[in-house]
Structure formats: C-alpha cells, structure tokens
Structure 1
Amino acid sequence: MHDVLQREREIFDLGLTWRHRFSELGPAFYTPLSPMAVRDPYWVARSQSMARELGLEEDWWRSQAALEAFSGSRPLAGSMPLATVYSGHQFGVWAGQLGDGRAILLGEVEAPDGRSIELQFKGSGLTPYSRMGDGRAVLRSSIREFLCSEAMHALGIPTTRALCVTGSDQPVRRETIETAAVVTRTAPSFIRFGHFEHFSHGKHPDELRVLTDYVIDRFYPECRHAANPAAALLAAVTSRTASLLADWQAIGFCHGVMNTDNMSILGLTIDYGPFQFMDGFDPNHICNHSDTSGRYAYKRQPQVAYWNLFALGQALLPLIGEPEDAMAALEPYKALFPAELDQRMAAKLGFAQASEGTRSLVGEILALMATERTDYSIFWRRWARHVAGEPADVVRELFLDHGAIDRCLLQFRELATYEGRHPYDGSLALASSPSIVLRNHLAEQAIALANQKDFSMVQQLLQVLGKPFEEHAEYATWAGFPPDWASSIQISCSS
C-alpha cells in the first residue's frame, strides 16, 4: 500500500509548458480536485497526430509512468486539475446545476505553434457535480468519442479532439456491467453555453461578466471594441454555430444530445454521446434511443441550435441590456445557416457557387433519397466519382426509380452547361464527400474486439478515418454498405 501511495505522489513530466487562465477566474467557477485512478490501466489507443500538435515525442506514451498519468493515478507535472460548474437545458427543460460530472480540466498546454490547448480527462472519477453518477466513462463510449472526434477533425469539421484512451477492467454499471476507460480530450476551450446559463440563472452578474470578458478577450477579441461587446459575442457565436450546423447537415451527422450544456461557445462539436453518421437517408432519423420525442432528429438539429442560441442570448441579457439587441444578434442565423448549407451542398454536387439551380437539384436528390432510403455517404461519394468522370451507372444503380435519378442527372448536366455559368469540378466534389465515415457498425466491431483486448481495429480505423477523402483499397468493405444488423444498433445516453 505504501508503494501505491508513494507512486501516486510522484509526478510525470512530459516537458509541457502549462498555463491556468480558467482557474484565475475564481473559486465560483470550479472545484479543484485530483483524478481518481482506475485499477490496472492499459493503453487502448493514441492519436499521434494530436500528440505532434502538442509537441510530444513519438514515444511519449511508452513508459509505465505515462500510462499511469493518463489514467489518473499519477499527476502530470504542471497540471492543476479542476472540475468546472455549469448549468443547462436538457431536452428543452431547465435542469439547473450540472457541471463536469466525470471530467477534469488539467489546464492549458502551449503548443509549438503558439496555440493554447486545454487538456481534459473524461471518466476520471467523482466530482462535486457528478450528481447521481459515478464519474466514470466506459470503454464503449470512450472509443466512440476518441475515433469520432479525430475523424471529424480530419473531415474539417470544428471539434474537440482526443489524445488517447486508457482502459481498465474495473467494472462500471450502466445498462449492463461494462469496463472503465479515461479519454484525454483537447480543445482551445471546453466552455459551453451552460457556463453562462449557470451564472445568469443563479443571479450572479459579477461572475457572468467575468466569464464573458474572459471569453471575449481570449477567443473573440474583435468583440471588445464593439458598442455592445456582449451582443457582439452572441452574434459571433451565432455565426460559428450556423457554420457548424451546416457542416453537420451536409455530412449527414446526427449529434443526439444537443442540450445547451453540450453546445460549445467556440462552435465546436463537443460531447460525443449518442451520435451517428446516417446510413439510409431519413430526415426524421433519431440516433439516440433515449430521445423518445425526436427532439434531436437530424432535420431538427438546425432549429434546436437556434433554440440553444436563444437560451444563450437570455443568459447574456443582463450584459446585453435590451432584448431587441439580443434578438438582433441572433437574427443572422436564419440567413447564415441556409446559405452555409447551400454552399456545402453545391460543393458536393461539384459547383463552386450555390445558386437557385443547385438548391433545386439538391432538393430533388434528397427527396428521392428519402423515398428510397438511399445510403447518404455512399450516394454522395458515387456522385462525386461521376462528376470526376466515372459513368453515371455508379449513381443510377443505387436507385430503384431510374427515371427519377435520370431526371436529376439531366438537371445536373443542364445546370453545368447553362450559359456556361456553372462549370463543375470533380475534385471539389470528391473533396466534399468522404469515402469513409465512422458508421455505427464499424465502431461496434472495433469495440467488440477491444473488449477482448484487441485494439488493432481501433488503431486501423483511426488511420483510415484520418484520411477520409482518399480511397482505401485495403479497407474497401469499411466504405461499403452497412450490414443488415447495423439497423438494430441502439445508442443511448448511458455512457
């Protein structure tokens, strides 16, 4: 026992340069505490891409000390672990105080390029904000978050990222007994809409101002000189959120739990609980089987994002002043989101600019896809291959109604030649529709192997998903149609 306690007091030094600006906000914003170690940890996966961004050596992980540090049993030199407090609306209902129930912020690391990157453990044990939870994450959800956050980064979609996952045979009870894991997540900041809601709803105007000033000065300095900095911040977050939602919709990504405490103030994809890249296209698709009302269905995501922004506007109202100013900051979303989505969908068609013609064609295609439940990712990749020169049959064979898809192909050709104003670009189409995404069945297969201590598929998926717009002949089946059993996979909030 003495050896264990002694080891826990020893620190592990990666040679990182740390800062702790969030902790300078004051004790109202967090609780300092140390991670709780998991039993007999082992490595599950590591992202060398993320490690390089942090300035780590290729073999940074090879020591036992590193394994212990990234599973919570040995302090990282320079870190100052803490859990932050926030509140939020969950499934549209005010939930009151929430907070980092199983996450611990270690601090900011100065990257070689000068950026500050926060490191956070997820699944590192109880915090004062765990409520009825145990503070742990399970291997299943940790692998999903690790792979998806790195995959989203490779797709060019703003997201938190992940450095590594460690596992343990320590049991964790969810819907069944599972095993524990710790994900090391990274982001410029993990601040959420819910942080602002916490201090606004709790009638703490001084702390609300401190938090707002912190976010403006660090991440939105252009807002400082506006006539109404808080309104300018709301407008800037609105713009980033509109762009993020356009990314999600264009790639066919469903988040699953778009609560206000899961919305990043920086417009990042955050908190990968239930999520899914759609298989057969269904605008009403619900990826979270806990979402019995369908609040976070695919087609509702843009509207929910605006609802969440409205909640953020309400939280900032004590600083903004007039409700009219808050509404004016939110109003651009109604034009920004559709314009951003139009541009992304035009690119998927192969056109550099969106137009009435591209909007009409996309509408026709999506309606046909919804009728036949055409595979979303495969259709758009095949469409891109056709635009790049392959015969139209690669698209036509996806449909039963050949007449309907032929009309879409004809509409495309007419659009492409109409007065020469809409030249198309095969390379643009290929760069807008990935050959592979992290489908649920791929994650399930990797998790099944990981449960047997075989992490090979996790690492292989990480490599392939890191180059999503390339063809990977060795893993062609991963880019193919999902198996029949994939439709029975159920992902819930239990993670």
Structure 2
Amino acid sequence: MPEQRFHSGFHQLGPAFFSPVQAQPLQSPVLAAFNNTLASELGLARPLDDAALLDTLAGSAVQSGATPIATVYSGHQFGVWAGQLGDGRALLLGELAGQEVQLKGAGQTPYSRMGDGRAVLRSSIREYLCSEAMHGLGIPTTRALALFASAEVVWRETAETAAVVTRVAPSFLRFGHFEHFYYRNQHETLRQLADYAIDRYFPDSRAADNCYQAMLEEVIGRTAGLIADWQAVGFCHGVMNSDNMSLLGLTLDYGPFGFLDGFDAGHICNHSDHSGRYAYGAQPEIGLWNLHCLAQALLPLLDRDAAVEALKRYQGLFEAALTERFRRKLGLRSSMNDDWRLLTNLFELMQASRTDWTIFWRQLADFDATPGASNSHLRDLFIDRAGFDRWADDYRQRLGAEGKPAGRSAAMRSVNPKYILRNHLAEVAIRQAQQGDFAEIHRLQALLARPFDEQPEHHAYAGTPPDWAGSLSVSCSS
C-alpha cells in the first residue's frame, strides 16, 4: 500500500516557531480506538490495513513528509503570566487534506518543563470521546483520529499507563502563540505569524484597511459563538488559560472538562481550580479576558483604540449568539423582549432544584401547551412545584403568542441532545479499558456521534448519574 504523504504547513514558518523532535515510541502500543469517519474525510484509504500509517499515528515511526515538531507559545494560566510554555507533550506531524495531525503523549519536547511528555490512558480516553462528542453536537472542536494504549507506566498522583491520542484540526494555533512573540519583543516574528494565520485561515481579512484588526474581529466573533455553544449544552472547559484558546474558535485541549448534571451556575469541574475562576457561569467573562490577552499581543500590528472598540462588541455578540441558541432550545421561532425574563426565572428554579440540565431540555420538547396540563414529567424535576407551575403558565403563553407551529417538538429535539458524555459514562469506559477491554469506547463513540437521535436501545445512557458519580474528580493532572 502506498504511503500517505504528509504535507508541511506550519513547518514553513521556520525554526523561530518550533523545535524538531523525535517521538518516543510507546512500549508495545495497542490500537484502542479508531475514527473511520474522520479517516475517510482525510482521504485515508483502508487505514487500518496500513501498518506504516498506524505506526506513524502512534509515534512509533515516521512516514514520508511527516516531520515531528513541537511549537513554542506562552500564555496566562489562571490569570497569571506563565511565560514560555509550548507543546510539552504534543508533536505536529504535518497536514493531511489540509488538516494538521498532532500526537498528544508522544514523549518529551524542549517545552516539557520537567514533565515526561506522556499522556495517561484515562485523560486520553476522555479527550478522544469528548472531541468527537462535541463534533456530534455541532460545536467547533479539534477532532480525534486514533487512540493507542500501552502498558508503559507513568506517574501522576499514582502509577498509571501511558497512551497517545492522535488529534486533528485545521490549526492548533492558540492565543498563546501570539503572546509569546509579543512579550519577547519579537514584533516582526509576530507579524510573520499573523500573516501566516490570515493567509491560511482568514483570507477575507486581507481586503480590510487593517488585516490584523479584521482578523482580531473575526476571532472575537468566533470565540463569542463558541462559548455560547458551551453554555447552551452545559459544557465546562475547566482550564480556559489563554494558551488553551484556539485562534479558530475551536474547543481545544480537553483536560478537566465536564458537562453539567444538576444545574449549578457556579459549578467548577476542575478540582485544581480552587478559586472557581473557570466555573461554568464565568466562562463568558473569561472568554473576553483571554481576548484581551490576544489583542494585547497584537497591539504592534493594531490601532489601540480600534482594538478596544472591537473588544467592546464581544458582549453584544455573545448575548446575540446565546439568545439565538436558547430561542431554539425553547422551541421559539422569534425573539421577544421578555424572553430573558422567562429564561432567568427558569434558571433560578433549576438552580434551586439542581435540575438535570440535559434531561430537562430534552423533555421540554414534550411540553403540553394545553391549558391546565400538568406536565408532570417536567414538574417532577423541580422541588418548587408551584414555582414550576407559574413558569409553565408563562411559557405556555409565550408559545401561544406564536400560534401552533408544526414540528416544534422535533425542532427542539434537534438542538437539545439526549446524550452527552457525562463523567460517569467516561469513567466506565476508562475502567474497562484499564482492564484491556475497549468495547465501551467504541459504543460511546458511536452513541455520541448521534446525540440528538432517540436511539431507544441506548436509553440507559440518557439517565441521571448513579450515586457513585458524585465522588468522581477531574483535575489538571494528566
């Protein structure tokens, strides 16, 4: 079988932007999961029969055109300038079909900062599954092509086994790539990076009076839309450092993430986040904070006042995007001034009851708008039944203002998922994989590719979490 040839993209920028690194092969890697759908999109023919390609994707060999590099960047972590960072356990191989292919967990790089450069199996399973779950939800994200497990032991809080996840994205450029050259006063190198990004990913910006300003404005819009997507499905990133923010508005770096179970605006999914900086309800504000970091880094190429005005538009862009998403979640065809009061009252009821976020929105599609209908399937999700009844009356009137549009329930099911990657579902797959059984990874991957479909044979995956799920903890350790 002919070799799949990788092409250079980011590599063309030159050595100021990266360091060549050879992958450190896993001990006896085992293919735990493979994304055939994504492989087809990348133009890979019969990839599972291509031993040389699989070796390359595992970091065990290098195919033609693949030149492993680790890119350098800097960033703010938990609100504090952290200085130089970089790909400490990620290697960029090159491009296939215009998509960058990256190995996560392939060994030490010059940017590993005393780390071993490895990823552990548990976090690799979580990233593999969640990146594809987000894609199934229609949320911009990096993708996962392959997952390789090994018996090789690495140490975190305790002994764990190593893994490599092969990630794919149009670009892994982060806000931190630009911060790096700004804070080192390498402004011409900064310009070179910005020109590369515009030519590759924001070509329409070239027609603007200031193409760098136009790129910033596009990034602001994409980031606002991305975080509106997160809030609508109850996704918590967990570690929104500026070096974990994608220039293209993709969900990047699945570490201590989590989806809401019971609604809590203050939910902290990262147990390393002791101050709650990255709580669910704080994500929109943190998105703006990180955009300020990016704008600051681009100042040598911008007019300061124009940059400030662009940042001021973020709030309006985010609110418009969020309004649109919740309009569709509520099954409304139009927006009215009082809709946010309706939503605010709902959020207060859900907060008081810790109502399950995903189950409520899915079941809302079956709301009976007939006067006097009890809607007990929803009412029983709340402690304050009388409060729900008052809200249901308001919602019934709001629906009545739009008549009786055909297909409301189906439209609501198309935006309110039945299945998400709850922590306990991932944990079951992890525990089985640690025993050498990868079947649950495959089941979840297939299930989460169609999160809006009923899939009645998998109904149990849509239930409330078991009691033991409350003891699960995720942190920055990986």
TM-score category, normalised to shorter length: over 0.9
1:182 aligns with 2:164: yes
2:94 aligned residue: 107
Q: Does the aligned pair in 1 maintain the 2:47–2:54 contact within 8 Å?
A: no
User: Which blocks of at least 5 consecutive residues in structure 1 are unaligned?
Assistant: 1-12, 111-115
Query: What is the identity percentage for the equivalent residue pairs of Structure 1 and Structure 2?
Result: 53
2:470 corresponds to 1:483: no
Distance across 2 between alignment mates of 1:56 and 1:209: 35
Conserved 8 A contact 1:350-1:424: no
C-alpha distance in 1 between matches for 2:189 and 2:67:
21
Offset at residue 351 of structure 1 (A): 1.0
**Which of 23, 26, 30 is 2:14 aligned to?**
26
Match of 2:38 among 35, 46, 50: 50
Q: Give, in whole Å, the separation in 2 of the partners of 1:207 and 1:80.
A: 22
- Give the superposed CA RMSD: 1.7
Match of 1:253 in 2: 235
- Measured after TM superposition, the shift of residue 391 of structure 1 is 7.5
What one-letter code is carried by the residue in structure 2 that aligns with 1:172?
V
Deviations 1:396-442 (A, max 9, x none): 12122221111121111101122749988222211111001000000
Match of 1:405 in 2: 388
Q: 1:37 to 1:407 in 2, by over 3 A?
A: same
**What secondary structure does 1:70 align onto?**
helix
In 1, the alpha carbon distance for the partners of 2:178 and 2:12 equals 17
User: Structure 1 CA distance, aligned partners of 2:131 and 2:446?
Assistant: 13
2: CA distance, partners of 1:35 / 1:299: 39
The residue that corresponds to 2:363 in the other structure is 382
Deviation at 1:357, TM superposition (A): 3.1
In structure 2, what is the Cα distance between the partners aligned to 1:287 and 1:125?
27
1:372 to 353, 369, 393: 353
Change in Cα spacing, 1:279 to 1:199, as seen in structure 2 (3 Å) is same
Match of 2:268 among 286, 310, 327: 286
Q: In the TM superposition, what is the alpha-carbon distance from 1:151 to its structure 2 partner?
A: 0.4
Change (3 A) 1:217 1:155: same
Q: 1:453 aligns with which of 414, 418, 436?
A: 436
Query: CA separation in 1, counterparts of 2:59 and 2:232?
Result: 38
- Counterpart contact for 2:258–2:422, Cα < 8 Å: yes
Deviation per CA, 1:192-231, whole angstroms, max 9, x where unpaired? 0000000001100111000001111111111112111111
Letter in 2 for 1:189: S
Distance 1:353 1:119 in 2: 41
Query: Is residue 338 of structure 2 the alignment partner of residue 352 of structure 1?
Result: no
CA distance in 2, matches of 1:391, 1:105: 56
Distance 1:202 1:368 in 2: 50
Give the letter for the 1:50 counterpart: L
* CA offset digits 1:107-142 (Å, max 9, x no partner): 1112xxxxx111000000000010111100000000
Q: Is the 8 A contact 2:365 2:408 kept in 1?
A: no
Pick from 246, 255, 270 the counterpart of residue 264 of structure 1: 246
TM-score after normalising by structure 1? 0.93
Aligned length: 476
Q: Is the CA contact 1:96–1:198 (under 8 Å) kept in the aligned structure 2?
A: yes
Aligned pair in 2 of structure 1 residues 329, 455: CA closer, same or farther (>3 Å)?
same
Please report how far the alpha carbon of residue 19 of structure 1 lies from its aligned counterpart in structure 2 after TM superposition. Answer: 2.3
Q: Does residue 162 of the first structure (1) align with residue 144 of the second (2)?
A: yes
Superposed structure 1 runs of 4+ greater than 6 Å apart:
387-391, 421-424
User: Which string of whole-angstrom CA distances, capped at 9 and with x for unpartnered residues, describes residues 240-282 of structure 1?
Assistant: 0000000000000000000000000000000000000010000
Q: Distance in 2 between matches of 1:419 and 1:432?
A: 19
User: Within the alignment, does 1:327 sit opposite 2:311 as a pair?
Assistant: no
- Match of residue 94 from structure 1: 81
Name which of structure 1's ranges 359-368 and 59-68 shifts more when overlaid on structure 2: 59-68
What residue in structure 1 maps to residue 411 of structure 2?
428
The Cα shift of 1:33 comes to: 1.7
| Paired residues of 1:125 and 1:134 also in contact (CA < 8 A) | yes
Aligned ranges for residues 4-15 of structure 1 at < 5 Å?
Answer: 15=3
Structure 2: distance between partners of 1:334 and 1:391:
38
**1:460-490 deviation line (CA, Å, top 9, x unaligned):** 0000000000112222111000001111111
In 2: Cα distance, 1:457 partner to 1:386 partner = 33
User: d(CA) in 1 for partners of 2:200 and 2:369?
Assistant: 43
Give the letter aligned to residue 117 of structure 1.
Answer: Q
Corresponding residue to 2:118 among 136, 150, 157: 136
Distance 2:231 2:6 in 1: 37
SS at match of 2:47: coil
The one of 62, 85, 89 equivalent to 1:75 is: 62
